[in-house]
Amino acid sequence: MGAAHKKSIEGPQLRAKCLIVGQLQVGKTSLVQRYNNEDFSSEYNPTLGCNLKSFTIDYYGLGVQLLVMDSLSDMDLQLECRLKSIKNADAIALVFDLSNSTTFEDIPAKLDLFKKNEYRKKEVLLIGTKADKEVREVSAEEVNKVIETENDLKIFYIETSAKNDLNVAPVFIKAIEIGVGYQALNWERRKYFLWVVKHMTPPAAEEGGGIHWANLCEAIPSMISKRNRRKEIPLYQIPIELIPKIGEFL
């Protein structure tokens, strides 16, 4: 299966909410618009109210709905009602402008704000925008220092350019991975694989008792749970042709 794409044929099976946070004019909305295949505009139009976008993304065969809210500027962070969105977010993208050092100075304070307001994940996206500009005011060393000194949150850093469409898609793919969770995504992919194998199996292969293909995808989580409690399921109950495939994908 190839890379993730923006549309899914079968519709979303998993969902995540991503909050985009950053000072005014750092390019939050431009990132969302570029990912939405809209033309880039250098003219600044401030976002009014809450700007929500919903993307249905094909993540390696899985349909994932990503709801993106890009309205959290510094003024919004002073409102108690807006701070609640931090607690409700499945993923947060913290955005600064590489060509404007003042937009980077309060990054540690914002990370502390996320923790104070009970952000429920342990991972945050840090996004440096406007990487196309020749003059930079934020160095790689400064970014690395923030990442290395943050003890509670794991930071994934991506440099982007909405103007040149540089690393825009990876921002939203990583938001899915943080928001839904790697374990859930991997398990859904494995279930999809088992479903495909089941439908490729001749009917005769399902005869003779044991665990049938029709129930296999739902049975494996229980098997794993029982195995972890030292109550293992005998391998002879599993169709023999499945054993090497389970070893490869689990």
DSSP 167-214: SHHHHHHHHHHHHH-HHHHHHHHHHHHHHHHHHHS-GGGG-SSSS-HH
Angle at 152 between CA 96 and CA 65, to 5 degrees: 60
Match domain 14-180 to its CATH number in 3.10.129.10, 3.40.50.620, 3.40.50.300, 3.20.20.10. 3.40.50.300
Say what the pTM is.
0.72
What is the mean pLDDT of the segment spanning 113-141? 95
Q: Is the pLDDT of residue 199 over 70?
A: no
What is the mean pLDDT of the segment spanning 232-250? 53
Q: How do residues 41-77 score in pLDDT, each as one tens digit?
A: 566 555 555 678 999 998 887 889 999 987 656 666 6
In this structure, the strands spanning 52-59 and 62-72 are: antiparallel
Which residues, at least 6 apart from 64, have a Cβ–Cβ distance to it below 8 Å? 8, 12, 13, 14, 15, 16, 56, 57, 58, 176, 180
What is the mean pLDDT of the segment spanning 24-45? 79
Q: How do residues 140-177 score in pLDDT, each as one tens digit?
A: 999 999 999 999 999 999 999 999 999 999 999 999 99
> What is the helix, strand, coil percentage profile of the chain, to 5?
45, 20, 35
User: What's the rounded Cα separation, in Å, for the pair 131 and 201?
Assistant: 50
